Amino acid sequence: MQYWLMKSEPEEVSIDDALAAPGAIVPWFGVRNYQARNFMRDAMRAGDGVLFYHSGCAEPGIAGIAEVASGAYPDETQFDPDSKYYDPKSTREQPRWLLVDVRALRKTRLLGLPALRAHPDLADMQVLRRGNRLSITPVTAAEWRCIIRELE
């Protein structure tokens, strides 16, 4: 089992939206970074743990716990000319962008960046690195356990 931090802007899909979705499952659409896409394609497996992170908002931070619910498959938004995620260079025969389904398990209290940065065991966490803009980052087992303890 692996662990991931996955960022979503709450206006796009929040932890509450995910929990309200049928089966609490949402497609993680709109990823347009090759490294993040490759994590979904090559490394994510159903059952992997997910820290559901709200970004692009007044108080960014971990807002819930989820799990990967599917393997990777083509992101339909890349084919829709009306979508802000449209990619005219992508074809159905050779899609450039993939997604996984994510199942929300529970909402947590918000664990914001100041709290994450204050914890010495999380000093090397990728999301805390200067200049990190990836929407999906790996989380070590030790980081996962530390955050879960912090949220309990």
Write down the pLDDT at residue 19: 98
Domains of the chain: 3-151 (3.10.590.10)
pTM: 0.95
SS3 at position 15: helix
**Each residue's pLDDT tens digit in the chain (152 positions)?**
999 999 999 999 999 999 999 999 999 999 999 999 999 999 999 999 999 999 999 999 999 999 999 999 999 999 999 999 999 999 999 999 999 999 999 999 999 999 999 999 999 999 998 888 889 999 999 999 999 999 98
Give dist(CA 104, CA 116) in Å, integer.
Answer: 21
Write down the pLDDT at residue 131: 80
